[in-house]
Amino acid sequence: MSPLTERLEQAKRRYVDAHPRSAALATAASEVLPGGNTRTVLHFDPFPFRVADATAQRLRDVDGHDYLDLLGNYTAGLLGHSPETVKRAIVGALDQGWTLGATHPTEVRFAELIASRFPGIEQVRFTNSGTEANLLALAAAVHLTGRSEILVFDGGYHGGVLSFGAHREVNVPHQFVSATYNDVASVEQAFSEHQLAAVMVEPMLGSAGCIPATAEFLSALRRLCSEADTALIFDEVMTSRLSVGGLQQLTGVIPDFTTLGKYLAGGMSFGALGGPTNTMAVYDQNAVLANGKSPLGHAGTFNNNVLTMAAGVATLSEVLTPEILAATNARGDRLRTDLQSIFAEADLPMTVTGQGSLMNLHPTAGPIVAPADVAGGDEDLRELFFFDALEAGFYLARRGFIALSLEITESDLDEFLAFVRQWVKLPALSPGLR
């Protein structure tokens, strides 16, 4: 056993010893929840800790341990655990009744706020998740083009039934064609061989490791889609937080459809499909479509639920100003740069990818421009960082993913960076022992 592996086994044993109540709850959970959870990404071996309460930027588990929350609920927690502005809006909505089965004014205001922010959005359809929004986008593209094939990218993730890394076996049965992220030639080949209804892409891969798209790649997608009358779908469920108008605003590449989710309703269940009026007409029951087809229906009991609508209006009108978003993303850029410097100075094969407030630590030397570049990384190194960070009071995803909330301060980042500077000095991480 290498010193690195031995250190990892010791860290796991300390974790188990320090979390007896979480262990007991994991056993109880496995009796009524398959695998002991109802959201697979939250599980890690030997068992995840269970949160007792969350305030500001910190979590406390049932065993009394406090953590600085650097995960931000996988981007959905941008505003923090219980933002007061959103709380007031939700309570106010509850006072007026919360299961209406009718339209109401707040959904109009929320839609107006979204359309005012994103260059590619004039009209919106609300859903309950980003997954639902992506399913609606694909249905629209197939209906409008009369084609059936969808171009996606290896490592892409567009929801629980639209995953092109792991768990492809649960995907909805569209006719998918795969290409390589950031590889224009592979996209050109796909267009030459297929009649595509849509290209669905994250302008920065999220679950595959926060890998940004190059400007050349996104521009080529826009050009090829326009030439072939193929719908370009930007999945900005995660990346929309990188500016007021998402990555489409920063890159200047405007899609035909934009899908949103996660944080935009302040932590409430939320998703949305948006686009120009002419493309969104596919969901307008009064429209006459250019291809002669009837518009599509769009069901969903909770699409315009009053809690999400009220929370969304409060989030966009009172909290997520351009200045606040810019400051949060600047803190993320600073953290990513400092982490990379620490790893480089320590001669440790770790690379930090991402943009703004989203990033991922990879146990490989890089460079990383596609998911294949992270294959073969040292998993023991990744695991050790995760468990040692937990023990030191820092919570991030086991895969190395970090999503900063508005509540994370410069002081918090200094605290985390101080831990990392000490961690890279562990004897087990010495180049000759790895």
Task: Convert the pLDDT of each residue in 285-309 to its tens digit.
Answer: 999 898 889 999 999 999 999 999 9
Q: Where in the chain is CATH 3.40.640.10?
A: 84-319
The sign of the CA dihedral 309, 310, 315, 317 is: positive
**What pLDDT shows up at residue 434?**
53
Specify the domain boundaries for CATH 3.90.1150.10 within the chain.
3-78+322-429
Question: Could you list the mean pLDDT of each consecutive 10-residue stretch along the chain, which spans 434 residues?
Answer: 93 98 98 97 97 96 98 97 96 95 97 98 98 98 97 97 90 97 98 98 97 98 98 98 98 98 96 97 94 94 97 98 97 98 96 98 95 93 98 98 98 98 92 56
Is residue 186 a contact partner of residue 374, using CB atoms and an 8 Å limit?
no
Looking at domain 84-319, which of 3.30.360.10, 3.40.640.10, 3.40.50.970, 3.40.605.10 is its CATH number? Answer: 3.40.640.10
- pLDDT at position 111 is 98
Q: What is the pLDDT of residue 432?
A: 53
Work out the number of other CB atoms within 10 angstroms of the CB of residue 432.
5
Q: pLDDT at position 323, please?
A: 96
Angle at 302 between CA 243 and CA 235, to 5 degrees: 30
The pLDDT, as a whole number, for residue 428 is 85
DSSP 183: -
The pLDDT assigned to 108 comes to 98
Give the whole-angstrom CA distance, residue 58 versus residue 37: 22
Q: Is the pTM of this model over 0.95?
A: yes
In whole angstroms, what is the distance from residue 39 CA to residue 195 CA? 36
Q: Which CATH superfamily is domain 3-78+322-429 in?
A: Aspartate Aminotransferase, domain 1 (3.90.1150.10)
Please tell me the predicted confidence (pLDDT) of residue 198.
98
- Cβ atoms 212, 353 nearer than 8 A: yes
